[in-house]
Amino acid sequence: MIDARIPVASSRSLLMARIGAKNSRPEIIVRQILHGMGYRFRLHAKEFPGRPDMCDVRRHDCTLAVADLAL
């Protein structure tokens, strides 16, 4: 899907290069909330498919923090 707000492919590439895959602001907020609730987890565990953001290995539970900024 082409974003109409960004007409040139090179500017789109520069924009996407600035977006980090780890430790995004929404992910940190979710981490703080879960940790405050007493959950303990591993970050970006390689042993799970897709490398989810947070994994609780004992409970076999994974959490993805997804931020949709499209308005």
Q: What is the pLDDT of residues 31-63, one digit of tens each?
A: 999 899 998 888 988 888 888 888 888 888 888
Alpha-carbon gap, residue 43 to 18, rounded angstroms: 21
Query: How many domains, in total, are found in the chain?
Result: 1
- 28 Cβ neighbours under 8 A, 6+ residues apart: none
pLDDT of residue 33: 92
pLDDT of residue 17: 78
The answer as to whether 71 is a domain residue is no
Please report whether residue 35 resides in a domain: yes
Residue 2 in domain = no
Rounded-to-integer distance, Cα 10 and Cα 16, Å: 10
Q: Which residues share a beta bridge with 42? A: 55
70 in a structural domain: no
Tell me which residue range forms the domain holding 47. Answer: 9-63
Question: Does residue 3 lie in a domain region?
Answer: no
In a domain, residue 40? The reply is: yes
Write down the H helix ranges in the chain: 9-17, 25-36
User: What pTM does this model have?
Assistant: 0.60
Is residue 53 situated within a structural domain? yes
d(CA 67, CA 51): 17
